Protein backbone atom coordinates (compact mmCIF):
# COMPACT_ATOMS: atom_id res chain seq x y z
CA UNK A 1 0.00 0.00 0.00
CA UNK A 2 1.36 3.34 -0.96
CA UNK A 3 0.43 6.33 1.08
CA UNK A 4 1.62 9.83 0.69
CA UNK A 5 1.66 12.29 3.45
CA UNK A 6 1.48 15.94 3.22
CA UNK A 7 1.35 18.33 0.49
CA UNK A 8 0.57 18.29 -3.11
CA UNK A 9 -2.65 16.32 -3.31
CA UNK A 10 -1.50 14.92 -6.68
CA UNK A 11 -1.45 11.38 -7.95
CA UNK A 12 0.92 8.76 -6.57
CA UNK A 13 2.97 6.81 -9.11
CA UNK A 14 3.67 3.84 -6.80
CA UNK A 15 2.50 0.42 -8.02
CA UNK A 16 -0.20 -1.23 -5.95
CA UNK A 17 1.09 -4.82 -5.40
CA UNK A 18 -2.03 -6.27 -3.73
CA UNK A 19 -3.92 -7.19 -6.96
CA UNK A 20 -0.78 -8.76 -8.47
CA UNK A 21 -0.24 -10.96 -5.41
CA UNK A 22 -3.90 -12.01 -5.47
CA UNK A 23 -3.59 -13.03 -9.12
CA UNK A 24 -0.36 -14.90 -8.39
CA UNK A 25 -1.96 -16.88 -5.54
CA UNK A 26 -5.00 -17.77 -7.67
CA UNK A 27 -2.74 -19.01 -10.48
CA UNK A 28 -0.67 -21.01 -8.01
CA UNK A 29 -3.79 -22.76 -6.68
CA UNK A 30 -5.03 -23.46 -10.21
CA UNK A 31 -1.73 -25.06 -11.26
CA UNK A 32 -1.59 -27.13 -8.08
CA UNK A 33 -5.05 -28.55 -8.80
CA UNK A 34 -4.32 -29.22 -12.48
CA UNK A 35 -1.12 -31.22 -11.91
CA UNK A 36 -2.00 -34.92 -11.77
CA UNK A 37 -1.18 -36.69 -8.56
CA UNK A 38 -1.00 -40.19 -10.05
CA UNK A 39 2.23 -42.03 -9.29
CA UNK A 40 4.34 -43.21 -12.18
CA UNK A 41 5.97 -46.61 -12.23
CA UNK A 42 5.47 -50.32 -12.63
CA UNK A 43 3.02 -52.10 -10.35
CA UNK A 44 4.60 -55.17 -8.83
CA UNK A 45 2.70 -58.16 -7.51
CA UNK A 46 4.36 -60.74 -5.32
CA UNK A 47 2.71 -64.14 -4.81
CA UNK A 48 1.88 -64.75 -1.17
CA UNK A 49 2.81 -68.06 0.45
CA UNK A 50 -0.14 -70.25 1.47
CA UNK A 51 -1.21 -70.19 5.10
CA UNK A 52 -1.48 -73.99 5.25
CA UNK A 53 1.75 -75.91 4.92
CA UNK A 54 -0.18 -78.74 3.20
CA UNK A 55 -1.05 -76.48 0.26
CA UNK A 56 2.53 -75.31 -0.15
CA UNK A 57 3.60 -78.18 -2.39
CA UNK A 58 0.45 -78.33 -4.52
CA UNK A 59 0.41 -75.66 -7.23
CA UNK A 60 -2.86 -73.86 -7.80
CA UNK A 61 -4.56 -74.17 -11.19
CA UNK A 62 -5.38 -70.48 -11.07
CA UNK A 63 -1.76 -69.33 -10.78
CA UNK A 64 -0.05 -68.82 -14.12
CA UNK A 65 3.74 -68.57 -14.00
CA UNK A 66 5.71 -67.93 -17.17
CA UNK A 67 9.35 -68.91 -16.76
CA UNK A 68 12.24 -67.59 -18.84
CA UNK A 69 15.12 -70.05 -18.46
CA UNK A 70 18.66 -69.75 -19.77
CA UNK A 71 19.51 -72.46 -22.27
CA UNK A 72 23.21 -72.49 -23.13
CA UNK A 73 24.25 -69.65 -25.41
CA UNK A 74 21.09 -69.64 -27.51
CA UNK A 75 17.64 -68.20 -27.01
CA UNK A 76 15.96 -68.86 -23.67
CA UNK A 77 13.49 -71.64 -22.93
CA UNK A 78 9.94 -70.52 -22.10
CA UNK A 79 7.58 -72.45 -19.82
CA UNK A 80 4.00 -71.85 -18.72
CA UNK A 81 3.44 -73.71 -15.43
CA UNK A 82 6.28 -76.19 -16.17
CA UNK A 83 5.06 -76.90 -19.74
CA UNK A 84 7.63 -75.79 -22.35
CA UNK A 85 6.45 -73.58 -25.23
CA UNK A 86 8.08 -71.89 -28.18
CA UNK A 87 8.13 -68.10 -28.02
CA UNK A 88 5.74 -67.86 -30.99
CA UNK A 89 3.21 -70.09 -29.17
CA UNK A 90 3.13 -68.03 -25.96
CA UNK A 91 0.68 -65.33 -27.11
CA UNK A 92 -1.98 -67.74 -28.47
CA UNK A 93 -1.69 -69.98 -25.40
CA UNK A 94 -1.90 -67.09 -22.91
CA UNK A 95 -4.83 -65.60 -24.83
CA UNK A 96 -6.58 -68.97 -24.62
CA UNK A 97 -5.85 -69.29 -20.88
CA UNK A 98 -7.15 -65.82 -20.02
CA UNK A 99 -10.13 -65.83 -22.40
CA UNK A 100 -12.68 -66.90 -19.77
CA UNK A 101 -10.99 -65.76 -16.57
CA UNK A 102 -12.23 -62.98 -14.37
CA UNK A 103 -8.93 -62.81 -12.48
CA UNK A 104 -6.22 -61.98 -15.00
CA UNK A 105 -2.99 -62.25 -13.02
CA UNK A 106 0.26 -63.64 -14.41
CA UNK A 107 3.67 -64.04 -12.80
CA UNK A 108 6.97 -63.94 -14.68
CA UNK A 109 10.02 -65.74 -13.34
CA UNK A 110 13.40 -65.34 -14.99
CA UNK A 111 16.80 -66.90 -14.35
CA UNK A 112 19.28 -64.76 -12.44
CA UNK A 113 21.69 -64.40 -15.35
CA UNK A 114 19.10 -63.93 -18.12
CA UNK A 115 18.97 -60.66 -20.03
CA UNK A 116 16.02 -58.57 -18.80
CA UNK A 117 15.00 -57.87 -22.41
CA UNK A 118 13.63 -61.43 -22.60
CA UNK A 119 11.58 -60.86 -19.44
CA UNK A 120 10.31 -57.55 -20.83
CA UNK A 121 9.18 -59.36 -24.01
CA UNK A 122 7.13 -61.77 -21.87
CA UNK A 123 5.56 -58.82 -20.06
CA UNK A 124 4.62 -57.33 -23.44
CA UNK A 125 3.18 -60.67 -24.57
CA UNK A 126 1.13 -60.82 -21.36
CA UNK A 127 -0.24 -57.32 -21.99
CA UNK A 128 -1.14 -58.36 -25.55
CA UNK A 129 -3.01 -61.37 -24.09
CA UNK A 130 -5.16 -58.94 -21.99
CA UNK A 131 -3.54 -59.78 -18.65
CA UNK A 132 -4.47 -57.09 -16.12
CA UNK A 133 -1.73 -57.61 -13.52
CA UNK A 134 1.74 -58.96 -14.16
CA UNK A 135 3.98 -59.80 -11.21
CA UNK A 136 7.70 -60.47 -11.19
CA UNK A 137 8.88 -63.40 -9.10
CA UNK A 138 12.21 -63.16 -7.33
CA UNK A 139 14.29 -65.90 -5.71
CA UNK A 140 13.81 -66.49 -2.01
CA UNK A 141 16.30 -64.68 0.17
CA UNK A 142 17.77 -67.13 2.65
CA UNK A 143 18.09 -66.02 6.25
CA UNK A 144 21.67 -65.58 7.36
CA UNK A 145 23.09 -64.60 3.97
User: Mean pLDDT lowest for which of 42-56, 90-104, 121-135?
Assistant: 42-56
Exposure of 65 by Cβ count < 10 A (0-12 exposed, 13-18 middle, 19+ buried)? middle
Taking the C-alpha atoms of residue 94 and residue 125, their distance in angstroms, rounded to an integer, is: 8
Taking the C-alpha atoms of residue 113 and residue 128, their distance in angstroms, rounded to an integer, is: 26
Banded pLDDT at 103 (limits 50, 70, 90): confident
Q: What is the pLDDT of residue 144?
A: 45
* Statement: residue 44 has pLDDT above 60: yes
Banded pLDDT at 145 (limits 50, 70, 90): very low
Q: What is the pLDDT of residue 23?
A: 93
Q: What is the pLDDT of residue 143?
A: 46
The domain spans of the chain are 60-137
Taking the C-alpha atoms of residue 97 and residue 131, their distance in angstroms, rounded to an integer, is: 10
Banded pLDDT at 63 (limits 50, 70, 90): confident
Taking the C-alpha atoms of residue 62 and residue 101, their distance in angstroms, rounded to an integer, is: 9
* Statement: residue 135 has pLDDT above 60: yes
Average pLDDT over residues 104-113: 88
Q: Please state which architecture CATH assigns to domain 60-137.
A: 2-Layer Sandwich (3.30)
Average pLDDT over residues 82-90: 90
Amino acid sequence: MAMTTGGGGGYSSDINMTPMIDILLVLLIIFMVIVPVTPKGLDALVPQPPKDQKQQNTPSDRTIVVQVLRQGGGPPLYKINETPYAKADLLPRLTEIYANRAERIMFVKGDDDINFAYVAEIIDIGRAANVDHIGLMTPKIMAGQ
